[in-house]
């Protein structure tokens, strides 16, 4: 942007009655270092980028954002912005998007530098300097961070390996409802380690796709008094070729009692979704969609044995027999499950490999396609309703909802 345009931006700051601003600039150099007086921009949408894609995205966002939005798109870090701009814009920003940001390494530092106390929505996309999204070991804080954040989206981060390193202060992320991680190829291990998991007390929607994670949740080291994921109502896991476990850790901490919708697609190393003890938490599950999971054998798996490795063969056999007797008297009940869709699951033989019976008293729709070994009949689910099998119209409605793009609120 040339000097004449810079002067134009400076003139905008001198309009005392201007309270709504929508402007696109190429970089922080277009912003004057000083102003005569701070402007009073009540609503603003400022896009700082040279990328055509980002500008087109900004046009789209401008159409769908609420009228009172305070949005800022950055291709730089907050410390490169003039002090007056941070005071007038950054500190008041509700929706912040880092896209192709240079110099960005740790969003904890950005939070502290920009005093982003009112931030509600954060997108971090294609910022290739980030290996650890949040690191409190490097930037130590003694107060909550992102305590008003409601949406966190992490997209196309080619070098990102971990979401959070270190302990987040109590109260951090306490309002986060929506967490989305897309196309972060180097993200490995566990998505939500205990240090992060215990802070997401109000998480409602988790959407994860396109990475090399082995676990979604890991709970080792957390106390039994911890109440985890008490508000999670929807979870979508897509294109996770290395995923082995959704939940890894003590089953008594797996609180999924508000989960209503679970979608699992193209997770070829999963052998089952949950252990039987975890499945007992699924009291509100209404919709289960599983597709293209080539290694899946059953929906609900048996709990891992806790017997010591030096147990005698005779004792081990006795233990297995006793367990089978106990299971034969047990029931796996999913009281609210209405829709069950199973697509392209070549190894799935049934709902559960053990001896407990499966009961889904609310089941209404059963969709199966390309599941050659799945032999369960509608009677085996003990539904109180007339179960419709492979209703095409209903299936198409479910699929349409499944693939609807999540937009920024």
**Cβ neighbours of residue 98 under 8 Å, at least 6 residues apart?**
74, 75, 104, 107, 110, 122, 123, 124, 125, 127
pLDDT in tens, 23-57: 888 888 889 999 888 899 999 989 888 876 676 66
pLDDT of residue 312: 55
d(CA 198, CA 214): 19
Please report the pLDDT score of residue 3 as a whole number. 43
Residues whose CB is less than 8 angstroms from the CB of residue 53 and which lie 6 or more positions away in sequence, other chains included: none
The residues with which 43 forms a beta bridge, in sequence order, are: 20
| Number of Cβ atoms within 10 Å of the Cβ of 354 | 19
Cα separation, 206 vs 368, in Å, equals 25
CA 404 to chain centre: 16
The confidence score (pLDDT) of residue 228 equals 82
pTM: 0.89
Query: What pLDDT score was predicted for residue 8?
Result: 64
The pLDDT of residue 321: 46
Parse the chain into domains and list their residue ranges. Answer: 1-103
Q: Report the pLDDT value the prediction gives residue 406, as an integer from 0 to 100.
A: 53
Instruction: Determine the pLDDT at residue 6.
Output: 46
Provide the pLDDT for residue 379. Answer: 87
What averages of pLDDT result for each successive group of 10 residues across the chain (409 residues)? Answer: 52 83 86 89 88 66 61 92 94 94 91 90 94 89 92 95 94 96 95 92 96 92 77 96 91 81 96 89 94 96 56 52 52 93 95 85 95 87 92 87 60
Task: Look at residue 30 in the predicted model and tell me its pLDDT.
Answer: 86
Measure CA 69 to chain center: 23
State residue 1's pLDDT score.
Answer: 40
Which of these, 84, 134, 128, lies nearest to 112 by C-alpha position? 134
Residues 270, 275: Cα–Cα separation, whole Å:
12
Q: Are 279 and 305 in contact (CB under 8 A)?
A: no
**What pLDDT is recorded for position 279?**
86
Contact (Cβ atoms closer than 8 angstroms) between residue 160 and residue 181: no
Residue-level pLDDT at 56: 67
């Amino acid at each position: 942007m040339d000097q004449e345009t810079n002067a134009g931006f400076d003139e905008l700051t001198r309009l005392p009655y201007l309270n709504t601003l929508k402007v696109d600039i190429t970089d922080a150099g277009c912003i004057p270092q000083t102003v005569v007086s701070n402007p009073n921009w009540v609503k603003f949408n400022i896009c700082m980028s040279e990328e055509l894609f980002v500008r087109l995205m900004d046009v789209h966002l401008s159409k769908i954002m609420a009228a009172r939005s305070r949005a800022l798109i950055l291709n730089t870090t907050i410390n490169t912005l003039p002090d007056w701009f941070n005071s007038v814009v950054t500190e008041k920003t509700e929706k912040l998007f880092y896209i192709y940001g240079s110099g960005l390494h740790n969003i904890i530092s950005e939070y502290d530098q920009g005093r982003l106390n009112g931030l509600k929505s954060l997108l971090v996309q294609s910022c290739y300097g980030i290996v650890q999204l949040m690191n409190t070991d490097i930037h130590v804080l003694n107060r909550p961070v992102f305590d008003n954040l409601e949406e966190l989206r992490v997209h196309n981060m080619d070098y990102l390996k971990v979401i959070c390193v270190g302990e987040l202060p109590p109260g951090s992320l306490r309002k986060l409802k929506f967490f989305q991680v897309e196309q972060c190829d180097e993200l490995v291990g566990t998505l939500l380690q205990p240090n992060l998991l215990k802070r997401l007390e109000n998480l409602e929607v988790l959407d994860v796709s396109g990475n090399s994670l082995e676990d979604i949740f890991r709970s080792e080291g957390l106390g039994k008094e911890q109440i985890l994921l008490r508000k999670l109502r929807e979870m979508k896991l897509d294109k996770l070729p290395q995923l082995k476990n959704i939940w890894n850790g003590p089953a008594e901490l797996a609180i999924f009692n508000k989960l209503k919708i679970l979608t699992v697609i193209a997770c070829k190393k999963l052998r089952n979704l949950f252990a039987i003890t975890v499945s007992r938490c699924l009291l509100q599950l209404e919709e289960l969609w599983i597709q293209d999971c080539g290694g899946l054998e059953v929906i609900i798996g048996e709990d891992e044995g806790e017997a010591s490795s030096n147990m005698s063969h005779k004792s081990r056999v006795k233990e297995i027999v006793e367990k089978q007797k106990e299971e034969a008297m047990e029931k796996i009940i999913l009281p609210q499950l209405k829709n069950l869709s199973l697509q392209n699951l070549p190894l799935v033989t049934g709902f559960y490999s053990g001896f407990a019976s499966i009961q889904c008293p609310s089941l209404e729709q059963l969709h199966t396609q390309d599941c050659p070994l799945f032999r369960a009949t509608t009677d085996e689910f003990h539904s109180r309703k007339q179960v419709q099998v492979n209703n095409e119209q209903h299936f198409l409605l479910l699929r349409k909802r499944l693939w609807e793009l999540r937009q920024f609120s």
